[in-house]
Amino acid sequence: MAVKPIITLPDKRLRQRAAPVARVDDEVRALMDDLLETMYAAPGIGLAATQVAVPKRVMVLDIAKREDEAASPDPMAFANPEIVWASQETSIRQEGCLSIPEFFEDVVRPARVRVSYLDRDGKRQELEADGILARCLQHEIDHLDGVLFIDHISRLKRDRIVKKFGKAAKRDIEERKPPRRTAEAESA
């Protein structure tokens, strides 16, 4: 297992569509483990392979701590996840993203979704979710399609945050600094 560096805006690899895995083999399971370790280290409640610059349709979640501080870990791993149903009803929640550090904004999404995916054993599963789980599933699946939560907010707010991260990256280049990484990745 290994903690991998998380890429951040404006890294173009965040905009790539990830490819499905042919099967869930040991290599995919190792990727799931790396994603979980990286997510817990960040810390975050979800992480997509896209965020560690691996363009494969693999992602992990653990929302246990989010809902109950004393809860024991509940790692979930998904390969080739697909939203097979989404509710008409929507909900609004504040989102953040490890690839857009320190920016938070309200996002409107379907309140409930049903997701089909392959589990750690390569077995096809279906999961119906609401609340924070539904939220997280949609956020992570978006990553696999090269979509970020800022794509769901107003253009004015999106342009402002994209510009800010673009300028910070440009400054880093001019000062010949390595690309900005999260503090967690730096200490890995």
Per CB under 6 A, residues contacting ligand GNR are: 44-48, 51, 95-99, 135-136, 139-140, 143
Shortest CB 139 distance to ligand GNR, Å: 4
Smaller CB separation from ligand GNR, 28 or 97: 97
* Catalytic residue set: 140
Q: What CA–CA distance (Å, rounded) separates 87 from 91?
A: 10
Q: 44 touches which of ligand GNR, Ni ion, none (CB within 5 to 8 A by kind)?
A: ligand GNR
Smaller CB separation from Ni ion, 27 or 139: 139
Q: 49 touches which of ligand GNR, Ni ion, none (CB within 5 to 8 A by kind)?
A: none
DSSP H or E segment with residue 66: helix 64-67
β-pair partners for 113:
86, 129
Smaller CB separation from Ni ion, 70 or 139: 139
In the list 97, 107, 134, 150, the residue contacting Ni ion (rule: CB under 5 A) is: 97
Between the CA atoms of 103, 131, 146 and 114, what dihedral angle is there, to the nearest 10 degrees? 180
Q: How many CA atoms lie within 13 A of 178 on its CB side?
A: 6
Q: 4 touches which of Ni ion, ligand GNR, none (CB within 5 to 8 A by kind)?
A: none
Shortest CB 19 distance to Ni ion, Å: 19
Q: Is 53 left (phi over 0), alpha (psi -120 to 50) or beta?
A: left
Of the candidates 36, 77, 57, which has an alpha carbon nearest to the alpha carbon of residue 142? 57
The residues of the shown chain that bind Ni ion, judged by CB under 5 A, are: 97
